[in-house]
Structure 1
Amino acid sequence: MNRKVNYTLLIEDDAYPEDALFSVLEHMIDNRIENKFAEFKSMDRNVTYVKFYHPPRLLGYYSLEVERIPELLSISVLFGTIMCGIYPYLFSKSKYSMNKMWFLFIVYSCLVAIAIGRQSIMEFRRISKHLFQVTPAPSCCTPALLFPQHGGQKVVEYMQNVKCRNKYAKDMLLEDVKRKHGLVGLLVQPNLFKHIGLYSSLRSKVLDPFIV
């Protein structure tokens, strides 16, 4: 931060990058944070940090993150409508009305999406850097973080005035910084890093791979 760089990428030693990291990173900075190519510049989003990893088990539809409900409904309506449009060409006669068929296809698409899992559906976004999703960041887990200069400086200043203590990890500190200064954290999905560390020095034991 003393060098006044625009961005600082902080990577823990057990975080392994995906091949698309730098192309997505550049696109995300230009179009989601700085909005360089927007006709009208949006107001500064006061970004504290951008996360590039969140445990896959926490990325599903069964989550407290509210944006995933509209996401599930959108997928269900989209594919339900497509199937409803195709159905008359495959089956000319039906005992159900079109509205009822549409509703049934939406419910069916919703159940299929849940069965497949949001984590698997999100993998299709890797086709292009333009399809990666940016959402508000949950507090847990920080293997790979990008700090804009303003947000990073706030974090450094805050860390200089607090003491480490039991059950007060880095992710909790970052949440406190966001609340104190009215900042936001962002999460890029799907993950651009893999968490390859299995041994926890805090717990002094090998962790279940499912939880990391």
Structure 2
Amino acid sequence: MMLRVKHHCCRKLSTYTLFLITLYLSAIALVAFVCKDIPLSPLFKEFHRDTNKLSQQVSDSNTLRLEEATQYFKSRRPADSIKHYKREFKGQVDIVIAIVTVKRKSRQTFSTGYLIQTSAALDKIVRTHNTSFNVTLFICNTETKDSDHSEANFVSAYIPMVTKHSDQSERNANVTVLQKETKDYIYCLSTARMLTPRYILMVEDDSVPNENFLEVIQQSLTQIGERKFAFLKLFYPPKWQGFALEISRVLELLCFGAIGGSFFLVFHHTCQLHRHWKRSLYVQYIVGFLFTVTVIYLIGRQNIMTFRSRSRHFHSLHPSPACCTPAMLYPLETVPTLVDFLNNSQQLDSDVGLDLQINEFTQTFDLPGYQIEPNLFRHIGMISSLSKPIKHPEEFL
């Protein structure tokens, strides 16, 4: 009789364990099914190999954003808009935003409208932000044939614009695309410097800001304090922000697992599941740990970070990698040295990318550069201004 009862209890225990295993595996399968349609998740590329279809989705989204941005400008009076930027500030200007733009040379017959979208988003935020910053904005048009840049001509009715005219060296056919990019950047940076702000924010014309980007900048500068630094990088390509075999990324994933394991212990105790599943606390913790790690990895680090971007309190500072300059904030005192460094590089006929030159600048002068994570800007430029092939559309969905 005793053996029969014991056998019954063991069978009941095994059945409940099997139920929990099935439940957790079903939950993982459901997460995987959802994540296969989420861009930048590990499963997305496996289920979406038709780049033409993805490109069309990006184009449709771009068209909708362009329509909204165009309507935004048309709802404003040009004279009042320009007057807003010519007003006198009480005290020093804190941030001057320079939108660097050039006409894209593409086989596409349509206008990308990147500049209009970026300008509309920044104009709206500059007018309505809740920070203590005095902020102003201008367009830096580096298209030598300014009459050809229809987007810049349209936006210039609402936002002040300066236009760079080519010199003899740039009319030289030997000037490469990368060299012209650096020369344009020097010009726009120097123009912004003439307004003597505390900081200069250089934004490429295909970089749309988050609504709270000024609040995050203010908090980040407070965090840096009196330390000298070269720049704050406000964008880094999301495709390189996923989980990887890097110590910091592995530790981050393990931390998620540790939190998940602890939550599982609390969940089992609260729901009194431990009465049915009489495994040790250690086993319950490991199950929760592995479940959480699997789910977080399937969702993707980039998509997890979108939740952090909602509040300025969830952003963090990291040492900056070398790549990319869509949105960079410079302290005014750094700019003269940086401009001289970039000019010297040009005199040496350097054909190195602008981002790598800026990274070399930080190493030469031993000035740290910081990256804010999550990104404060979204890169929408699937069609590059550097005459490169169209980029993979997944980055822009």
Provide TM-score, normalisation by structure 2: 0.47
CA contact (8 A) 1:51 1:188 kept: yes
Going from structure 1 to structure 2, the CA distance change for 1:110 and 1:154 (only over 3 Å counts) comes to: farther
Q: Which has the higher strand share?
A: 1
Residue 131 (1) aligns with residue 314 (2): yes
Q: Residue in 1 aligned with 2:291?
A: 108
Which among 2, 6, 11 is matched to residue 203 of structure 2? Answer: 11
Matches within 5 A, 1:182-197: 182-197=366-381
Q: How many residue pairs align between the two structures?
A: 200
Q: CA deviation at 1:2?
A: 5.0
Q: Which has the higher helix share?
A: 2
- CA deviation string 1:119-143 (max 9, x = no partner): 1111111332111122122211110
> Aligned partners of 1:205, 1:93: CA distance in 2, in Å?
59
Q: Residue in 2 aligned with 1:151?
A: 334
What is the RMSD of the two structures over their aligned residues, measured on CA atoms?
A: 2.1
Q: Residue in 2 aligned with 1:142?
A: 325
Matches within 5 A, 1:35-50: 44=227, 46-50=228-232
Matches within 5 A, 1:24-35: 24-30=216-222, 32-34=223-225
Unaligned runs of 5+ in 2: 1-192
Which among 20, 34, 45 is matched to residue 212 of structure 2? Answer: 20
> Aligned partners of 2:392, 2:279: CA distance in 1, in Å?
49
Unaligned runs of 5+ in 1: 35-42
Question: Which structure has more RCO (C-alpha within 8 Å, separation ≥ 6)?
Answer: 1
Which among 55, 59, 67 is matched to residue 237 of structure 2? Answer: 55
> Aligned partners of 2:371, 2:377: CA distance in 1, in Å?
12
Residue 98 (1) aligns with residue 281 (2): yes
> Aligned partners of 1:112, 1:172: CA distance in 2, in Å?
36
- CA deviation string 1:179-202 (max 9, x = no partner): 112222211122211112122243
Going from structure 1 to structure 2, the CA distance change for 1:83 and 1:179 (only over 3 Å counts) comes to: same
> Aligned partners of 1:93, 1:138: CA distance in 2, in Å?
51
Q: CA deviation at 1:95?
A: 4.0
Q: Residue in 2 aligned with 1:76?
A: 257
> Aligned partners of 2:238, 2:268: CA distance in 1, in Å?
35
Q: Which amino acid aligns with 2:321?
A: P
**Runs of 4 or more consecutive aligned structure 1 residues displaced over 4 Å after TM superposition:** none
Q: Which amino acid aligns with 2:384?
A: S
Provide TM-score, normalisation by structure 1: 0.84
Which among 108, 113, 121 is matched to residue 304 of structure 2? Answer: 121
Q: Residue in 2 aligned with 1:37?
A: none
* SS of match in other structure, 1:191: coil
- CA deviation string 1:32-71 (max 9, x = no partner): 222xxxxxxxx62x3211111111111111264x422222
CA contact (8 A) 2:309 2:375 kept: no
> Aligned partners of 1:78, 1:151: CA distance in 2, in Å?
41
CA contact (8 A) 1:61 1:69 kept: yes
